[in-house]
Amino acid sequence: MDLDFIKKLIKKNDTKIVMIVMDGIGGLPREEDGLTELETADTPNLDSLAAKGVCGLQQPVASGITPGSGPGHLALFGYDPVKYQVGRGVLSALGIGFDLKPEDVAARGNFCTIDENGVVVDRRAGRIPTEKNIELCNMLKGIELPGVDVFVETVKEHRFLLVLRGSGLSGDLIDTDPQRVGEKPLQPRGLSSEAGKTVELVRRFIDEARTLLRNQHPANMILFRGFSKKPCWPSMTEVFGLNCAAIAAYPMYRGLSRLLGMHVLETGQAIKEEFDTLEDNWDKFDFFFLHVKKTDSYGEDGDFVRKVKVIEEVDREIPRLLGLKPDVIIVTGDHSTPSALKFHSWHPVPVLLWSKYCRADNVKQFGERACISGGLGPRIPAVDIMPIVLANAKRLEKYGA
């Protein structure tokens, strides 16, 4: 739904909304008993909430489309992820709290391994430890480019951030990451005529980096993805009139929240600690986004059992959440990450919405198959969720006379 349309209907209220995003929550059945991770998990509190709430399955982007975490979250926050696109470089910058200026160009860097012919043999340089990354970034920080400031920042393991600051820069560059081993890194190339200057600077940076890293092993080269500038989007406060807080342990989600004008709260990494943060800040905000990362991490590891445990851990915090007496609760994910696939997937994501006024359906269990017959339907577009949330929070005016 168009944000301008919603914006005109917003009215003030003092209701409180909590959106719990279990990253990659959706799954696929395992062979032994035909149950998914969520169906396997013992979730008495979520099931009880599902029974009182309205359920369904949501599609972050569109039918058949496997979303990255950026699009998946943007859609949940009501921003059409096809219209609101954010580059990987910007996401990396926001993720480590790098204060990106409007004119900056950011790129996500990977340390990689090349052989004597310059061919990429490991796109992640064996996932070098973060300490090694810091050491290598310190070397790259020595690179100077004419007319721009250069920032090289460690993200984690093999991942780093490059930011060029100066005037006349463009994010319209192809990735130099060939996306597969057995090929050489691609030469920087512009996608528009404005990118010429940036292409030349990036080329120089890569050349110097190659020289500096040539005796390192395994991280003897770099690859770039997602050259981009910080987008200028309306904040969730501007659009929805909500004072929003993000409780997220991982940099990427903190950065994304900041992009939408959320206040990013300091929090411990554990799920229990995230709920502590929720309690501690309960009086200060209207909308809380609470992000749980490990469902996705274990999904990507193919670890069915640990993914189940994380879901159960979240379930145990639900009574504390209810104790705060929120007006609207949403529990869902930004995409599915079935352990069976070890990767994000296109499968619709279970969603549960509860409020005093939600009109409960017949779903009694928070699981993929149970949610098919829920009141939200088996493939509601994720961007439709925020309007329903706002309606349940009595924060939307009637449309038309």
User: Which amino acid, one-letter code, is at 238?
Assistant: E
Per CB under 8 A, the list member of 241, 340, 342, 365 interacting with its own copies is 340
* 292: contact with its own copies by CB under 8 A: no
Which one of the spans 16-24, 194-202, 238-246, 352-360 is the region binding its own copies (CB under 8 A)? 352-360
DSSP for residue 307: H
CA distance 391 to 386: 8
> Which 75-114 positions form the footprint of its own copies (CB under 8 A)?
81-82, 85-88, 91, 108
Q: Which residues pair with 149 in a beta bridge?
A: 165
> Which 358-377 positions form the footprint of its own copies (CB under 8 A)?
359-362, 368-369, 372-377
* 352: contact with its own copies by CB under 8 A: no
Per CB under 8 A, the list member of 226, 251, 350, 367 interacting with its own copies is 226
| Contact between residue 162 and residue 152 where contact means Cβ atoms under 8 Å apart | yes
CB of 271 to its own copies, least distance (A): 24
* 233: contact with its own copies by CB under 8 A: no
Owner of token pair 């800040």: 281
CA distance 335 to 65: 10
CB of 381 to its own copies, least distance (A): 8
* 326: contact with its own copies by CB under 8 A: no
- Which residue intervals of 77-169 are DSSP H helices? 88-95, 130-140
> Among residues 29 and 166, whose Cβ is nearest to its own copies?
29
Residue-wise DSSP of 97-111: T----TT-EEEEEEE
> Among residues 132 and 159, whose Cβ is nearest to its own copies?
159
Site mask for its own copies (CB under 8 A), range 107-146, x = bound = -x--------------------------------------
* 251: contact with its own copies by CB under 8 A: no
CB of 206 to its own copies, least distance (A): 21
* 258: contact with its own copies by CB under 8 A: no
CA-based nearest residue to 45, from 317, 302, 233, 247: 317
* 347: contact with its own copies by CB under 8 A: yes
* 192: contact with its own copies by CB under 8 A: no
CA distance 256 to 253: 5
CA dihedral sign of residues 76, 73, 178, 229 = positive
Residue 100's contacts (CB-CB under 8 Å, 6 or more residues apart) are 90, 93, 94, 106, 163, 230
User: Which amino acid, one-letter code, is at 392?
Assistant: N
Measured from the Cβ of residue 242, the count of other Cβ atoms closer than 10 Å reads: 28
> Among residues 209 and 371, whose Cβ is nearest to its own copies?
371
Judged by CB under 8 A, the number of residues near its own copies is 69
Residue 262's contacts (CB-CB under 8 Å, 6 or more residues apart) are 236, 244, 245, 246, 287, 289
CB of 116 to its own copies, least distance (A): 29
User: Which amino acid, one-letter code, is at 308?
Assistant: V
Which one of the spans 117-125, 301-309, 324-332, 390-398 is the region binding its own copies (CB under 8 A)? 390-398
* 344: contact with its own copies by CB under 8 A: yes
* 58: contact with its own copies by CB under 8 A: no
Which pairing describes strands 244-247 and 263-264: parallel, antiparallel, or unpaired? parallel
CA distance 246 to 87: 20
Q: Which residues bind its own copies (CB under 8 A)?
A: 1, 5, 9, 28-29, 34, 36, 56-57, 61-71, 81-82, 85-88, 91, 108, 225-226, 338, 340-341, 343-348, 357, 359-362, 368-369, 372-380, 384-391, 396-401
